[in-house]
């Protein structure tokens, strides 16, 4: 997790890493979330070594084989095969790679753009702030799927465009969060003192204010992973995201729909992976919120 | 109240303009000739092509084109579907009630089940019930509903054979649209109980799928809002006066705890649309969500463009009405929104 490094730095003062870990580790949900995320991260990184087959490899003699515990299952294919004879377990493992990358990219893009806009708007104020916030209001009041559909219609259906589309819908959350934080920090004595010593806007924004806005941004970023993974998978399911034969869980689900009666495992397992991973990030995000920023605690 | 209305309109109008710009820009940002997109791949005679160019003012500056687009929209001209040749407005009005009916039932489920669950969890804080509900609701909150819908079909339709897999009503019934809400129209058409039952069993699974995330949200919000209220002084006073526990919880507590919950529910229109797109695709529900996705996949640009505009408009109007209704009912909110 990228938050590990940030947590140790003085950004989250006054809590040191030890204090953070003390609070975090007593939250059972948060630890479960961390374990889930760590497991999927491991699967994503180690996919080429632990997946029994290549995710695109077609075994002619093994179409729609059920998992090994059901009747007719083959020990060679633990979780069975799909309609063209690809190993489901291998595709699910490679799917972890796709979804982790998707979540990461959505968070990086939306966090970078959103934080920048929030910093600029909050620090500059005036019409710049007004324009940014009105744009964000528009983005937030339109259903996210409509914006995603617009982006995908214009740019075409692909995984990259789906990531871009979902990132845009996640941006306003970061902007509002950072802006609110900047407005609080801006009038604090340390910022005013720094200004009297001649600090320019760039120094104020990036060196003085930004580090003090990081705790809620980290929490939002973690929750952004679940938004990103869920929504990109949804677009994949609708045929507007990743295209077959990519081993993406949403796309796999959409392919499996016609086999819901004959091969239910093709439907249950990819969706279960999405649910568990999204749940993991949500648990982790809640835990981080409680541990990093007591003010946000509910 | 007037000041509140003006302020609220001040937010809604730029959003509306934003939606028109997005819809207008859509067809022009797609690489290639917009007229060819609108006519479709089968092509058209040079006369039709020239007429289309003139109608959308494509030979004139972009700003003129935009105002022409607005003018056409205000006159109810949203273009025609490439696929069906029908006016987009008709196609929208045919499908909108189906989505509205599904969305309203899903939201009702969320509210009627979520609020009592949240209250009980708050009153019995840290009990087994509380932990169980909070865990289940977090799962519900994280649910990929496109998968959840399929699981519901797998269990209730395929395994148990209890519910149909798709559509709004059995083909045997011919119900002419009147209100657009099938649960009402079956009575108007004189089909009676069997048709009503058929419409209801078709509605159950999609409503559960669409209502799951709102239900989880409502239960969690009610719990946390109720917990806050339970700690208020007036609650202690009410107890000290000798009022019964139930009366204190429901009359004094819940009424105050519901304010934030109702606000969130009212503003769920946007997420219901997002959910409806997925739910309708899974259950072949003939609403606007499925219509929009099919149009994107068929590259039916006029439908996508106007569909997005009309759906955004519906969401903006609903949000506005909800805000105004709350401000009217609860004067304390006027300053905050």
Kindly state the average pLDDT of the residues B227-252: 85
The whole-chain average pLDDT of chain B stands at 85
Residue B316 token pair: 């903006």
For B103, the domain range is 89-297
Which carries the bigger pLDDT value, residue B282 or residue B58?
B282
The verdict on residue B330 lying in a domain is no
The verdict on residue B335 lying in a domain is no
The winner for highest mean pLDDT among A108-112, A176-180, B237-241 is A108-112
The winner for highest mean pLDDT among A221-230, A238-247, B7-16, B245-254 is A221-230
Question: pLDDT at position B113, please?
Answer: 95
Judge if B95 and B69 occupy the same domain: no
Residues 6+ apart with CB under 8 A from B2: none
Judge if B123 and B212 occupy the same domain: yes
Which of the four pLDDT bands, split at 50, 70 and 90, describes residue A4? Answer: very low
| CA–CA separation, B151 and B72 (whole Å) | 44
Measured between CA atoms, the residue of chain B closest to residue A239 is B297
Kindly state the average pLDDT of the residues A172-185: 90
| Subunit contact B308:A149, Cβ cutoff 8 A | yes
| Subunit contact B144:A144, Cβ cutoff 8 A | no
With 0-12 / 13-18 / 19 or more C-beta atoms within 10 angstroms meaning exposed / middle / buried, residue A200 is exposed
The verdict on residue B260 lying in a domain is yes
The verdict on residue B333 lying in a domain is no
| Subunit contact B270:A144, Cβ cutoff 8 A | yes
Residues 6+ apart with CB under 8 A from A266: A64, A80, A82, A83, A88, A252, A255, A256, A259
Under DSSP, the state recorded for B85 is: -
| Subunit contact B144:A138, Cβ cutoff 8 A | no
The verdict on residue B310 lying in a domain is no
Of A38-42, B21-25, B50-54, minimum mean pLDDT range: B50-54
The interface pTM score, or ipTM, of the predicted complex is 0.86
pLDDT surpassing 90 at residue B317? no
Which carries the bigger pLDDT value, residue A78 or residue A271?
A271
* Model confidence pLDDT, tens digit, residues B104-117: 999 999 999 999 99
| CA–CA separation, B306 and B289 (whole Å) | 13
Any A CB within 8 A of B32 CB:
no
Of A91-95, A278-282, B247-251, minimum mean pLDDT range: B247-251
Distances (CA, A) of A86 to A40, A245, A247: 21, 10, 10
Question: pLDDT at position A5, please?
Answer: 44
pLDDT surpassing 70 at residue A163? yes
Judge if B113 and B42 occupy the same domain: no
CATH 1.10.3720.10 corresponds to the domain A40-296? yes
The winner for highest mean pLDDT among B161-165, B216-220, B243-247, B314-318 is B216-220
Instruction: Kindly report the backbone phi and psi dihedral angles of residue A61, in degrees, each rounded to the nearest multiple of 5, phi listed first.
Output: -80, 0
The percentage of chain A sitting over the pLDDT mark of 70, rounded to a whole number, equals: 93
| CA–CA separation, A45 and A96 (whole Å) | 9
Instruction: Kindly report the backbone phi and psi dihedral angles of residue A81, in degrees, each rounded to the nearest multiple of 5, phi listed first.
Output: -130, 165
Judge if B168 and B230 occupy the same domain: yes
Question: pLDDT at position B102, please?
Answer: 94
Under DSSP, the state recorded for B153 is: I
Cis, peptide link before residue A245, omega less than 30° from 0: yes
Question: pLDDT at position A14, please?
Answer: 53
Are A103 and B271 contacting, i.e. CB atoms less than 8 angstroms apart?
no
Any A CB within 8 A of B187 CB:
no
Under DSSP, the state recorded for A158 is: -
Kindly state the average pLDDT of the residues B202-208: 93
The whole-chain average pLDDT of chain A stands at 85
Judge if B290 and B206 occupy the same domain: yes
Kindly state the average pLDDT of the residues B110-133: 93
Kindly state the average pLDDT of the residues B21-25: 85
The verdict on residue B144 lying in a domain is yes
**B 255-314: CB under 8 A from A:** 269-271, 273-274, 277-278, 281-282, 292-293, 296-297, 301, 304, 308, 311-312
* Model confidence pLDDT, tens digit, residues B40-87: 666 677 777 787 777 766 777 888 888 888 888 888 888 888 788 889
Which residue bears the tokens 């004189």?
B190
Which residue bears the tokens 């007037």?
B2
Of A171-175, B115-119, B331-335, minimum mean pLDDT range: B331-335
Residues pairing with A87 in the sheet: A81
The verdict on residue B12 lying in a domain is yes
| Subunit contact B315:A141, Cβ cutoff 8 A | yes
Measured between CA atoms, the residue of chain B closest to residue A143 is B270
The verdict on residue B7 lying in a domain is yes
Rg value, chain B, Cα: 24
Which residue bears the tokens 């294919």?
A77
Which residue bears the tokens 């009005």?
B93
Which carries the bigger pLDDT value, residue A275 or residue A219?
A275
| Subunit contact A233:B158, Cβ cutoff 8 A | no
Comparing CA positions, the residue from A228, A224, A219 lying closest to residue A249 is A228
Under DSSP, the state recorded for A54 is: -
Which of the four pLDDT bands, split at 50, 70 and 90, describes residue A77? Answer: confident
Judge if B20 and B153 occupy the same domain: no
Kindly state the average pLDDT of the residues A68-93: 81
Residues pairing with B87 in the sheet: B80
| CA–CA separation, A54 and B124 (whole Å) | 51
Judge if B113 and B56 occupy the same domain: no
| CA–CA separation, A202 and A208 (whole Å) | 9
DSSP B58-72: TTS-HHHHHHHHHHH
Under DSSP, the state recorded for A13 is: T
| CA–CA separation, A238 and B297 (whole Å) | 9
Q: How far is B51 from chain A (nearest CA, A)?
A: 25
Which of the four pLDDT bands, split at 50, 70 and 90, describes residue A293? Answer: low
Question: pLDDT at position B136, please?
Answer: 93
Of A138-142, B41-45, B67-71, B292-296, minimum mean pLDDT range: B41-45
pLDDT surpassing 70 at residue B186? yes
Any B CB within 8 A of A146 CB:
yes
| CA–CA separation, B168 and B183 (whole Å) | 10
Cα(first)–Cα(last) distance of chain B, in Å? 12
Judge if B141 and B50 occupy the same domain: no
Any A CB within 8 A of B143 CB:
yes
Rg value, chain A, Cα: 22
Are A251 and A236 contacting, i.e. CB atoms less than 8 angstroms apart?
yes
Judge if B221 and B138 occupy the same domain: yes
pLDDT surpassing 50 at residue A2? no
Strand intervals (E) in B132-277: none
Residue B279 token pair: 């739910």
* Model confidence pLDDT, tens digit, residues A65-75: 788 777 777 77
Judge if B46 and B124 occupy the same domain: no
Which of the four pLDDT bands, split at 50, 70 and 90, describes residue B14? Answer: confident
Comparing CA positions, the residue from B306, B303, B337, B249 lying closest to residue B12 is B337
Kindly state the average pLDDT of the residues A54-62: 78
Judge if B48 and B127 occupy the same domain: no
Under DSSP, the state recorded for B87 is: B
Judge if B117 and B11 occupy the same domain: no
Which of the four pLDDT bands, split at 50, 70 and 90, describes residue B332? Answer: low
pLDDT surpassing 60 at residue B163? yes
| Subunit contact A146:B312, Cβ cutoff 8 A | yes
| Subunit contact B144:A233, Cβ cutoff 8 A | yes
Disruptive mutation site among B15, B147, B271 for chain A (greatest number of A CBs within 10 Å): B147
Number of domains in chain B: 2
| CA–CA separation, B113 and B99 (whole Å) | 21
């Amino acid at each position: 997790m990228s938050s590990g490094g940030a947590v140790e730095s003085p950004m989250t003062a006054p809590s040191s890493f030890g204090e953070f870990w003390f609070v975090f580790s007593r939250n059972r949900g948060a630890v479960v979330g961390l374990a889930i995320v760590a497991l999927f991260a491991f699967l994503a990184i180690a996919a080429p070594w632990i997946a029994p087959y290549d995710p695109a490899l077609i075994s002619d003699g093994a179409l729609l084989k059920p998992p090994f515990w059901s009747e007719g299952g083959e020990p060679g294919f633990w979780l069975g095969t799909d309609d063209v004879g690809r190993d489901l377990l291998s595709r699910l493992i490679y799917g972890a790679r796709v979804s982790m990358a998707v979540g990461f990219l959505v968070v990086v893009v939306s966090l970078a753009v959103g934080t920048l806009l929030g910093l600029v708007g909050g620090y500059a104020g005036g019409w710049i702030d007004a324009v940014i916030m009105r744009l964000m209001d528009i983005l937030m009041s339109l259903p996210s799927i409509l914006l995603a559909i617009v982006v995908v219609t214009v740019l075409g259906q692909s995984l990259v465009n789906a990531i871009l589309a979902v990132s845009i819908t996640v941006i306003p959350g970061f902007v509002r969060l950072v802006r609110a934080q900047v407005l609080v920090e801006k009038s604090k004595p340390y910022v005013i003192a720094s200004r009297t010593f001649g600090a320019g806007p760039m120094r104020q924004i990036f060196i003085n204010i930004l580090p003090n806005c990081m705790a809620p941004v980290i929490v939002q970023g973690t929750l952004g992973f679940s938004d990103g993974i869920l929504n990109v998978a949804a677009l994949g399911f609708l045929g507007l995201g990743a295209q077959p034969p990519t081993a993406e869980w949403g796309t796999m689900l959409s392919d499996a729909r016609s086999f819901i009666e004959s091969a239910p495992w093709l439907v249950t397992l990819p969706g279960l992976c999405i649910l568990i991973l999204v749940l993991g990030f949500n648990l982790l995000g809640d835990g981080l919120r409680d541990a990093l920023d007591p003010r946000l605690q509910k | 109240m007037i000041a509140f209305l003006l302020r609220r309109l001040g937010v809604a109008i730029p959003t509306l303009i934003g939606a028109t710009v997005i819809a207008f820009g859509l067809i022009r940002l797609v690489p290639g000739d917009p007229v060819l997109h609108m006519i479709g791949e089968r092509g058209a005679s040079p006369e039709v092509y020239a007429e289309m160019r003139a109608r959308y003012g494509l030979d004139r500056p972009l700003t003129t084109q935009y105002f022409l687009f607005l003018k056409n929209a205000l006159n109810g001209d949203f273009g025609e579907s490439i696929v069906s040749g029908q006016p987009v407005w008709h196609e929208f009005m045919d499908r909108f009630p189906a989505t509205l009916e599904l969305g309203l039932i899903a939201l009702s489920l969320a509210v009627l089940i979520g609020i009592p669950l949240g209250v009980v969890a708050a009153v019995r804080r840290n009990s087994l019930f509380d932990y169980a509900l909070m865990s289940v609701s977090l799962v519900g909150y994280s649910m990929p509903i496109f998968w959840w819908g399929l699981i519901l079909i797998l269990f209730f339709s395929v395994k148990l054979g209890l519910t149909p897999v798709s559509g709004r009503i059995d083909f045997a019934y011919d119900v002419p649209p009147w209100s657009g809400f099938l649960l009402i129209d079956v009575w108007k058409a004189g089909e009676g109980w069997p048709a009503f039952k058929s419409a209801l069993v078709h509605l159950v699974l999609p409503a559960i799928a669409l209502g799951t995330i709102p239900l989880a949200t409502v239960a969690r919000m009610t719990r946390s809002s109720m917990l806050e209220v339970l700690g208020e002084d007036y609650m202690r006073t009410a107890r000290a006066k000798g009022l019964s526990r139930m009366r204190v919880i429901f009359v004094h507590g819940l009424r105050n705890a519901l304010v934030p919950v109702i606000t969130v529910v009212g503003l769920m229109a946007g997420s219901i649309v997002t959910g409806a797109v997925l739910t309708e695709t899974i259950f072949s529900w003939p609403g606007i969500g499925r219509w929009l996705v099919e149009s994107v996949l068929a590259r039916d640009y006029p439908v996508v463009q106007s569909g997005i505009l009309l759906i955004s408009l519906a969401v903006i109007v609903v949000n506005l009405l909800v805000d105004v209704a709350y401000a009217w009912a609860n004067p304390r909110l006027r300053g905050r929104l």
